[in-house]
Amino acid sequence: MVKKEAATWNIQVPKALDKAVDKAIEENWHYTKTEFIRDAVREKLKTLGINPHETVNNSNRSPSIKHANSPKQNTKRRTKQ
């Protein structure tokens, strides 16, 4: 069996978001919060056109993923009116 490399995330979320995820797990096919979050991250990356497998395989190259707070990346953000 090949062991996959993994990273551990430790994040804080608002209680309301935590309860919403709990409800989604109860009403959906996800068994755990971890599974739900992994699926949500995969879906978000897919909408951004990022394949996480390609990102891992090309890790020797310079980073091609820009942070959400990068000024060049903020062109799609909504502005208050």
Domain residue spans of the chain: 13-48
pLDDT at 55 over 80: no
- Average pLDDT value for residue range 41-61: 79
**CA atoms within 13 A of residue 22's CA, in its CB half-sphere:** 7
**Residue 14 — very low, low, confident or very high, per pLDDT cuts 50/70/90?**
very high
**If you search the block for the tokens 């599974």, which residue do you land on?**
35
Percentage with pLDDT > 70 across the chain: 63
pLDDT confidence bin for 49, thresholds 50/70/90: very high
Going by pLDDT thresholds of 50, 70 and 90, the confidence category of residue 72 is very low
pLDDT (0 to 100) of residue 39:
93
Question: Across residues 25-29, what is the average pLDDT?
Answer: 88
Beta carbons of 44 and 52 less than 8 angstroms apart: no
